[in-house]
Chains A and B, each alone.
Chain A
């Protein structure tokens, strides 16, 4: 177990080092959700004036949604890193070394979770500057961060699964683009459920689980059963996704 933790840390650090060594990459990744937040706040500001809108302002409503969508957008590309390692021979070199196999997966997933946390904190800081206040305080913030981490891990694991199964950058990019936008827009990230058509399956969308759990936890009177239900669902989906990725990795090993 100690070796798994140590190797996960080594491989995570490797990815984060590549990430932080390119300032434009780092800035673009952290700025993307902020840019979306600015534009969407302008574009949809009128929504906040509709009767029954569940927040004091649109930025207050949007911040948890943007944190969830930003985490999904970022971690959806995790599989490309795995593919590049595979194509560059890095993966085979790791497999010929004593590195623990599971650490190759966790070393890819953990950086995504960390980046998602930093993105969330940047978004929150921006929201505070815009005058947004969350009565839920540190507890609400912890719930939102935990939910975002679970979503980032889930999406990154599924992205790895896809990469290890299809082993083609073109297919990977096409499938990811096909999926991320419907998951973003068919969630409660940008619009309250009450303003969306009733047939849209927002309740089945893990992005909505993150957004809904975060919003209620950040509110003055959190609906804790609803929070726990969504965190539970996210944990279950995350566990299955990570196991699927580990399984896909084993299948890759057998095919070498």
Chain B
């Protein structure tokens, strides 16, 4: 258990007439052999906004998405998608949710057009409406000229855009993106994000995304939920979460294990240091107070003859993440 979940902002309650895009309440899911993937998760995702779910591998993000998308069952709790209960009306939920999975789900042995067309037909589109929708999506995703090619010939970015088109084909009220920029180059990722932002802004679509790219979550999401070991450890707006860490962050690279241990222990003894976490070989300390606090930290580094690069910065979402979702060396 990761302790009591905290909300760094007033809890959001959606008016009854406008239910939240996603409402997860006390969700519990245990896999066979007793692995508890979700341990009482609760949060809500507002309509027309981007909500980011962050967490290390194994935190329960993918299980959460599978449960929302009716792919897997759960033991206790509830999920509402666009006001529809996942457990009692799964067929209706499937019509209202669009999912873009972490791994590809298009058929590489078929053309992009055929993949998209099949998806549209499954959702009941036909005739002129079908053709218009396919044309619109292919144009929008810049896949028009590649539509007749087999998907196996697509680049990673093209394939991601096709997956997004397949998730959007039925104009879902809620779009779920599971690590959509994993294995995509930065230019393709940027293109994907501008599409997603456009969806929220212009079409009032609600988006829930999971990502490891914390700067993306910081930039795009209006609400962030951090999971660890199947539980929500903290949630709030990126701004509120960052304000919670009011001091500065000192980052220092320590390659020698013995020195690293000593510096970590010495830092933890300082009253002005609130938290110490590791990002690979980099130690990050949240410090509270004025320049004297910074001086004490630098004294520790000098005392241990640390010569590696040191930086001081304002806290980022990364620091919030490492504070709440682990980061042990």
Q: Which residues of A contact B (CB under 8 A)?
A: 7, 10-11, 14, 17-18, 85, 88-90, 92-99, 254, 256
Contacts and interface: CB of A to CB of B under 8 A. Distances in A.
A34 to B, nearest CB: 26
B106 A90 contact: yes
Nearest to A22: B109
B158 to A, nearest CB: 16
Contacts of A254: 73
Contacts of B243: none
Interface in B113-138: 114, 118-119, 121-124
22 contacts: A7-B122, A10-B118, A10-B121, A10-B122, A14-B118, A17-B110, A17-B114, A18-B107, A18-B109, A18-B110, A89-B101, A89-B104, A93-B105, A93-B106, A94-B122, A95-B70, A96-B69, A97-B122, A98-B124, A254-B73, A256-B66, A256-B71
Contacts of B110: 14, 17-18
The 3 nearest A-B residue pairs measured at CB: A89-B105, A93-B105, A96-B69
Interface residues of B, number: 28
A94 B124 CA distance: 14
Interface of B: 66, 69-73, 91, 94-95, 97, 99, 101, 103-110, 114, 118-119, 121-124, 166
Contacts of A99: 122
A150 to B, nearest CB: 28
Contacts of B118: 10-11, 14
A11 to B, nearest CB: 8
A92 B95 contact: no
A98 B119 CA distance: 10
Contact of A88 (B73, B91, B105, B119): B105
Q: Tell me whether chain B's interface is mostly helix, strand or loop, or mixed.
A: loop
A18 B152 CA distance: 13
Nearest to A99: B122
A10 B118 CA distance: 7
Nearest to A91: B105
Contacts of A14: 107, 110, 114, 118
Contacts of A85: 107
Given A14-B107, A93-B119, A98-B95, 16 more contacts: A7-B122, A10-B118, A10-B122, A17-B114, A18-B110, A88-B105, A89-B101, A90-B107, A92-B105, A95-B70, A96-B69, A96-B97, A97-B94, A98-B91, A98-B123, A256-B66
